[in-house]
């Protein structure tokens, strides 16, 4: 069994450096949260979850059919899901490239359905980059003020050239992600 998801990764050094800066600022608030490690920064297009090893090949086949142009995206602003007053996930928003990423996500979902691969359906997919997961209720007012103050923070750009099937190996220190397959975007 493997725990898998489909994603596009954030790797541009200048963008990652600004994200790390923001994550360090978040950690300094004293709010109980877990930031995403720099090597794990990504936008999830579909979370599949636990699948049998032999089903991985089917998922690879589905991803192999993805077509489309590479996407230039711009990360701007800090926000929270489900709300700023009751945050569980702190994220960086996608300004430029948001519609293109949404279209890519819909293609991924359609291919997964075509191949009869079960996945967690996103009700209202909003392209975002998870920065941290909130682990408690302490100092939430401080966190709310921080999010509002950074609502227009600029993180930089990323050029997404491939879609990846990734395995998530859960450990006590957090997940470790391993690439299982990559499909280049061409156009």
Which of the following is catalytic: 42, 62, 156, 158?
Answer: 42
Catalytic residue among 2, 128, 164, 166: 128
| Residue 181: strand, helix, or coil | strand
d(CA 6, CA 179): 10
Round to whole Å and give the CA distance between 16 and 12: 6
CA distances from 13 to 39, 40, 157 (A): 11, 13, 10
3-state secondary structure 80-138: EEECCCCEEEEEEEECCCHHHHHHHHHHHHHHHHHCCCCCECCCCCCCEEEEEEECCCC
Contact indicator for 47, 177 with CB cutoff of 8 Å: no
Residue 118 is among the residues annotated as catalytic for this protein: no
- DSSP reduced 3-state for 62: helix
Residue 154 CB contacts under 8 Å (≥ 6 apart), including other chains: 18, 75, 76
Token pair for residue 72?
A: 């230039």
128 is catalytic: yes
- Catalytically active residues, by annotation: 42, 128
């Amino acid at each position: 069994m493997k725990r898998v998801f489909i994603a596009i990764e954030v790797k541009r050094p200048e963008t990652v450096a600004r994200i790390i800066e923001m994550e360090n600022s978040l950690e300094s608030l004293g709010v109980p949260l877990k930031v995403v490690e720099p090597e794990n920064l990504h936008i999830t297009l579909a979370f599949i979850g636990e699948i049998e090893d032999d089903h991985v090949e089917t998922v690879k086949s589905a991803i192999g059919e993805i077509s489309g142009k590479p996407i230039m995206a711009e990360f701007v602003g800090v926000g929270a899901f489900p709300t700023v007053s009751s945050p569980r996930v702190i994220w960086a928003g996608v300004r430029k490239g948001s519609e293109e990423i949404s279209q890519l996500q819909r293609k991924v979902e359609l291919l997964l359905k075509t191949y009869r691969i079960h996945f967690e359906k996103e009700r209202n997919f909003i392209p975002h980059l998870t920065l941290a997961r909130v682990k408690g209720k302490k100092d939430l007012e401080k966190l709310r003020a921080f999010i509002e103050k950074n609502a227009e923070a600029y993180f930089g750009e990323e050029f997404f050239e491939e879609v990846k099937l990734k395995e998530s190996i859960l450990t006590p220190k957090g997940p470790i992600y391993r690439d299982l397959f990559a499909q280049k975007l061409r156009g």
